[in-house]
Structure 1
Amino acid sequence: MMNFEFNIRKATVQDIEEIIRLRLELFKELGEVQSEQEEACVTTATRKYLEEALSNNEFISFLALSNDKVISVSGMVLFKRPPYLDNLKGLEAYIMNMYTVPQYRGQGLARKLLENCIEECKKIGVKRIWLHASDDGIPLYKKLGFSFKDNEMELFI
């Protein structure tokens, strides 16, 4: 196991290119982007989305950095739906874009980023956090209290 120092911080619009870089690595790993043309389309659309969504806090991301290089990323889309009994404010967060560069995996980075997402949700009044987990992510999400509902996992806070 390698030993390295890292710090975590909330992403800003200045981090868009790094968020896109890791998002593309994730898509390539999942086989969702298979050509340079697809990569260019996703890059352009994601940049446009993030410029707006990061500015108005519809999308919140935390980054793990080592030697000023982004090595892990989390993403969270905030939205408001009509209130219901378990969530009278209707504020929800969808976790996505969790990705750690392969050589840094197994060091607890995803957990730290997810904990930051959950804390941010508590701070801003989100009641329900949900996600679609990869097989690799399921153990982590379970450890942090997420449970299965249909094909999703959720956490009420």
Structure 2
Amino acid sequence: MSVRDATLEDIPELVRLREVLADRMAQDGSYPLEEEWREAYAASLGERLGSPDTAVYVVDAPTKGLAACGIGLIFERFPGPSLPDGRYGYVQGMTTDPGHRRRGHGRAIIGALLEWYRDSGVRRVDLHATSDAEPLYRQFGFVDDGYPSLTWRSRS
């Protein structure tokens, strides 16, 4: 198994895997699912693949398609005492196809993403985990940061 950078040709599979993740996340919590997200997601992937603030890593399935994927994003906010350069990372869309789980794909992808963050000088990375994946992330050193995670959503 090898982790590689995603290409434009992978976008349909990346959208499929994101849908797998959305279905799984809905089991753990109640967040609203919008109907018309697939086209916007595909377009955004097309725009961001290869940009210096985005890493999209995949593992190919043995036959065809993708077995797993993960996305790393780098954001910038104002510098502060705990984030002197203001840059932080966010891992999004870590997904393994149900038929390919428990084979180390997620471990390989999160390892590659953390290496990319280190090479990019990013010192803080956040993510949201499903209950299935939380033990894996904790093995890589992800911890509760002591602050509650709060979210605001517009009602309109």
Alignment of 1:19-38 (within 5 A): 19-31=14-26, 38=35
Normalized per residue, the structure richer in strand is: 1
Pick 1 or 2: higher relative contact order, CA cutoff 8 A, min separation 6. Answer: 2
Gap change, CA 1:144 and 1:70, over 3 Å in 2 = same
Aligned CA RMSD, in angstroms, stands at 2.1
2:53 and 2:12 mapped to 1: Cα distance?
Answer: 18
Percent of aligned pairs sharing the same letter? 27
Query: Alpha-carbon deviation of 1:33?
Result: 8.4
- With 125-134 and 23-32 compared, the bigger mean Cα shift is at 23-32
Q: Distance in 2 between matches of 1:87 and 1:143?
A: 23
**Whole-angstrom CA distance in 1 between matches of 2:9 and 2:53:** 16
Q: Which letter maps to 1:143?
A: Q
Q: Secondary structure at the match of 2:83?
A: coil
Cα deviation, residue 82, structure 1: 1.1
Gaps of 5+ in 1: 1-5, 153-157
Relative to structure 2, which stretch is displaced further, 74-83 or 50-59?
A: 50-59
Task: Look up the match of 1:53.
Answer: 48
Q: TM-score, normalising length from structure 1?
A: 0.80
Shift of 1:55: 4.0
Normalised to the residue count of structure 2, the TM-score between the two structures is: 0.81
Task: Give the gaps of 5 or more residues in structure 2.
Answer: 150-156
2:137 maps to 141
Which residue of 3, 8, 11 corresponds with 1:13? Answer: 8
